[in-house]
Amino acid sequence: MKNRRDFIKKFSALTGLAATIPISSSALSKTSSTFNSLLLEDIPAEGADNEDFWAWVQQSYTASPNFINLNNGGVSPQPIIVQEAFKRYMDICNEAPSYYMWREFNRDVKAVKEKLAKLAGVTADTIAINRNTTEALDTIINGLPLKKGDEIVLSVFDYPNMKNVWKMREKRDGILLKWVTFPAPCNDEDFLVEQYVKAMTPKTKLVHITHLINWTGQVLPARKIADKAKEKGIEVLVDGAHSFAHIDFKISDLNCDYFGTSLHKWLCAPFGTGLMYVHPSKIKKLWPYFPSEEPDGNKMNKMENLGTHNIPAKMAIGQAINFHLLIGAQRKQRRLFELKQYWIDKIKDDKRFVFYTPQDAKYSGAIATVGIIGQSGPEISKKLQKLAQIHTTNVQVENVDGVRVTPHIYTRFQDLDRLVEGLLKIASE
């Protein structure tokens, strides 16, 4: 790269291409192909060594410069190109809603699905675009043909919405839930796998794995757990709410039967967009949440019978994928881990702090949860908001009591310095 001016000029031009709003599916495919072939070789592999690039990324968002959002794990902001795409699609739909949503754009959503499926490493006929991880996994969990006495293996650290639907099936259908637990943090991969294996019995029908735990940022060895389950003829469901577009993997890498994620988290797609994957051999037996004419059919579109829903949001997923591809999955993962480790390294030797998150890149990404001796998570979160205008979320689950800090790729090191100053001040009280 010759100089900073050329760098900014090139990537500004590439952002303009990513923001192109095609109307037809053929145009979308052509734009995507052109986009993927341009300029990517100009980005250094070591993103952390090129702060000009990350400054450009930061300017691609409309995040407040005064209020520091460190709860991106809940829902992430969208880059400007995604916001603009959504608005454009919404404007077009408002010209003739039933025509554009149900004829023109509903047809072109197929191109978005192709693009999303390629990103996920699966085929378009195995995915459904829906609203979030909860909808995806609740649909799967409620749709499984389970009977009294069937066992499900899951973790105490799984997300509440998923735990609740399993508990509902326990009450309704008499299935048995086998709960797995482990320390937070845990860097022993064999130990983690063994906890799941020990809970498996001849009656186990499915293992539920949270790929990246939202409470602590712990990455679980999902593939190794899945392999052990498959050896025993047990199905595998993966909650990928926080792993998809955060850590570099494909759904096909996980050896799972079912997968769900929210695209409005780490992919930075429009709010209320998600993905559900079902292995082709499992589609027919899975009952949809909102039935179509063939609820026992073998086509994945039976899972998308939502009635009127947000077509502009679906369409703008394509621009979110373009932006993600521009950054690169590996580069993005490294940057997210670097941001997390940057602030932790400044206070990790201070005995007043307790860390519930692994500090090894193999077991973590951007999410980290920290506690302060003698103070609760809600207290710390409230004080950070008051002292430094920093937004976090508190975590109190099992033995974890602290605040979850979740930067994203637009987060500046200066923002994390402010976080550290705030934490040190609170710890000194």
- Whether residue 22 lies inside any domain: the answer is no
Q: Are residues 175 and 285 in the same domain?
A: yes
pLDDT of res. 33: 44
Q: Are residues 292 and 365 in the same domain?
A: no
- Whether residue 321 lies inside any domain: the answer is no
* % the chain with pLDDT above 90: 81
Q: Which string of DSSP letters, residue by residue, matches 388-424?
A: H-EE-EEEEETTEEEEEEB--TT--HHHHHHHHHHHH
Q: Is the pLDDT of residue 29 over 80?
A: no
Q: Measured between alpha carbons, how far is residue 226 from residues 248, 277, 358 in Å?
A: 18, 16, 22
Q: Are residues 283 and 367 in the same domain?
A: no
Q: Are residues 173 and 301 in the same domain?
A: yes
pLDDT of res. 306: 85
- Whether residue 2 lies inside any domain: the answer is no
Q: Say which residue the tokens 């149900």 belong to.
A: 102
- Whether residue 220 lies inside any domain: the answer is yes
The pLDDT tens digits for 378-389 are 999 999 999 999
Q: Are residues 244 and 361 in the same domain?
A: no
Q: Are residues 295 and 361 in the same domain?
A: no
Q: Are residues 289 and 410 in the same domain?
A: no
- Whether residue 324 lies inside any domain: the answer is no
Q: Are residues 344 and 302 in the same domain?
A: no
- Whether residue 417 lies inside any domain: the answer is yes
Q: Are residues 160 and 287 in the same domain?
A: yes
Pairing of strands 400-405, 393-397: antiparallel
In this prediction, residues 156-166 reach a mean pLDDT of 98
**171 phi, psi to nearest 5 deg:** -70, -45
Tell me the CATH number at 416.
3.90.1150.10
Overall domain count for the chain: 2
- Whether residue 33 lies inside any domain: the answer is no
Q: Are residues 282 and 377 in the same domain?
A: no
Q: Which string of DSSP letters, residue by residue, matches 187-227?
A: --HHHHHHHHHHH--TTEEEEEEESB-TTT-PBP-HHHHHH
**What pTM does this model have?**
0.90
Single-letter residue type at 2: K
**139 phi, psi to nearest 5 deg:** -60, -45
The pLDDT tens digits for 314-345 are 999 999 999 999 999 999 999 999 999 999 99
Q: Are residues 203 and 242 in the same domain?
A: yes
Q: Are residues 278 and 353 in the same domain?
A: no
Q: Which string of DSSP letters, residue by residue, matches 175-188?
A: -EEEEE---SS---
Separation of alpha carbons 276 and 335, rounded Å: 27
Single-letter residue type at 355: F
- Asked if 395 and 403 touch (Cβ cutoff 8 Å), the reply is yes
The pLDDT tens digits for 390-409 are 999 999 999 999 999 999 99
> In whole angstroms, what separates CA 40 from the centre of its chain?
24
- Whether residue 103 lies inside any domain: the answer is no
The pLDDT tens digits for 256-296 are 999 999 999 999 999 999 999 999 999 999 999 999 889 99
Q: Is the pLDDT of residue 40 over 50?
A: no
Separation of alpha carbons 210 and 122, rounded Å: 19
Could you list the residue range(s) of the whole structural domain that residue 143 is in?
Answer: 133-263+274-309
CA dihedral (88, 90, 95, 96) in degrees, to 10, reads 130
pLDDT confidence bin for 205, thresholds 50/70/90:
very high
Tell me the CATH number at 287.
3.40.640.10
